Structure 1
Amino acid sequence: MLGRNPKQRTCDSKTILFCPYCGTKLDSDAKFCKHCGSPVDRTETEPFQAREQEYAGKMIKCPACGEDIPSFTAVCPSCGHEIRGSRATNSVQELSYKLEHTSSDKAKANLIRTFPIPNTREDILEFMILASTNIENSYQPEVSEAWSVQFEQAFSKAKIFYGDDPKVWECYNLYLTKKKQAQKRMEQEQKRQHFEQRISKIEKIFQSDKGNAIPALIAAVILLIIPFLMIIPSSISHMTKEHQLENLTEEVQTYIEDGNFEMARIMANQIIDDSNWSDESRQKWDSIRESLLESITKQEILVGEKIYAGLSSKEVEGKNYSEIVDHFKQQGFTDIKTEKIEDLVTGWLTKDGEVENVTINGLSDFEKESIFEPDAKIVVFYHTFK
């Protein structure tokens, strides 16, 4: 068996040889490849031919430790950092925006069915909540079915990657509840449409018998009543929406009480009156939503590792320093110091013990809603006699 000429590469005045069969690096005096055993012919050398490298795709790295992350990874295998995706979050928001500006039910269903399910935990949960809510809110079977199909797909993916996460199953239980409610509402809608069809048939019957005054009179009465009857389904729809939002509000409050602030925030963001019933109704539910979100933020701080200042930098000025020290202790701060400002004459312009200013982590300008760590460094500067 005749050997092929080895491939050559020149680097820093040295020639590096590679096996022409398998590409293994060869020793300088090798006659056979140590990897595949093929003979190497050194009588002739082929022209230098650089080895080419190509990349098949993108390399994703952990933002915390820099290690390579495999596809569909929920948590970095090296440091445990949770992998999140801002693009997926934006895509969910973009889907909501497109649906709001799409009037055709067929187009809406197509948008929903072709939406790519995100991979990260927070985005899958957000999409599952969005799908569950819209399954109940949609008045068109085609759109509702599209949401249901997409939810099932998202849930299947969530079980694979986050099957041990209790929030995945909370979302699934929510979906089952919303789907039952949607089925009941669909049945009511079908009954309403059936009622309208019967009224239409009665109207045609009386219109065909114009020679008889009594049927014509009855038909006229029915025609007068029909507009009022048409208002009833709209009113019922609004009442149903109000009931849905009330139930949603109760669910948010329950999550807050249980300390599940993540689910509470996701659910609270779904409290939107899109029934177009009235501006007053929309403003009412907007106010309720904002109030709940504010409550969630406050509760997160109370049970978390951060606390409010409680007083603004303007409010502490002029008060007795001991009162201010006690206030910050009650708020939960642990690193509080006092600094004297010794005046030549105290009592004319300032009082003994009067606070000049307070700094928190070096900040002399803060609001009472400002949030700090419990061990934030607080210095109270106050006036006293020299």
Structure 2
Amino acid sequence: MTTSSAAPGLRRSLGIGAAVVCLGSPALLGPAVALLLAASALLAVSVPLLRWPWGRITENTAALVVMAVSLLVDIAYIGKQGLTLLWMPFEFGGLLILTGRLIRRSQPRHLLPAGLAATLTTLALPLRFTLRNPESGTAGSVIMVLVTLVPVACAVGVGSYLRSTDSRRQQAVLQARREQRLHMARVLHDFVAHEITGMVLEVQAAQESAYDPEQHQAMLARVEEAGIRALDSMDRTLQSLREAEDVREDAHGQEPTQPSTRVYGLADLPDLVRRFAESGSVTTELNLDEELVGALPREIDETAHALVLESLTNVRRHAASAHLVTVTVEQVSGAVLQVSVTNDGSSDKPLLPDRKGGGTGLVGLDERFRFLGGALTAGPSADGWRVMGTLSVPSPAGTLTDH
């Protein structure tokens, strides 16, 4: 890393040194006024080569200073007009680069004045020669400005294109970060809320009826395990957020792979349903087609698990009178996955009647199903309440086949 970071600095130093020698040496051999032309050209060439910011001075500020110096030389130069031609091509090239960079990197509120200043300064540079040359006349000055207009327009176009590219990239990064934050929020909601709800249910059950010592110890063990799982989920989520903030582009300008959290799927359903059954008095049945385990795309596998997790959490919260919960995961009508959670309870006795907030779990789940081209329904059924989701598995994945 030291070698790769030192190489650009060395190249910059060599470039500035070469510019000083090539542009400064001729000025030392000519009249004193030539130093003014050389200094203006050297500034225009050197500023793009320097590493910015330099203290509190930004590249845009330095570029505007170069523009001001160039205009002052245009006005104040009193030497022979022929000398201007020696340094003008170098200064013109530097001004074109600075014009493009000002267009690309200026703040929105500074874009118009900075762009106009850079454009007019670059267009005015040839007038340093033509206005002092009697043979050029007004027609010659107009022609030179028109000729100069082509490369200036190219510099403005390149700067505008790179500005739009930077803006799209920034928007893409912001969108990626937003999606990652939403994913982390879903993880916390899905797993932490589920475990905490189970802990609340255990405590409420213990308050309503006395446990014998053995039952009491078992209850405390379940609460402890649920708390540890909730803490683990929070730790993984926070660690992923910290790692995401530390992501930086590598030496080749490519972004490393974003850190990911633990992905749950159908393979985790038996353990999830078992823990749910052990944390209360609800009989729970799981009807899972084993051929589907490990055969689904990651997004579908995770979404199916999220539906079951959210539904079981809602049973705890809103259907305290439920006695039977049935979880069914099966393939229906070809390459369509159907996941349903049915309970025989009612929603007239919520687990946490005084709790404010919530109610966003199914909304977010519905968005996930629709994003994947599926559908989610939730409402009364013959047995009580049912949440059901369907997802079409893409046939190229080869994950589901007709039985």
Shared fold, TM over 0.5: no
Instruction: Tell me which of the two structures has the higher relative contact order, counting C-alpha pairs closer than 8 angstroms and 6 or more residues apart.
Output: 2
Return the structure number with greater helix share.
2
- TM-score (normalizing by structure 1): 0.30
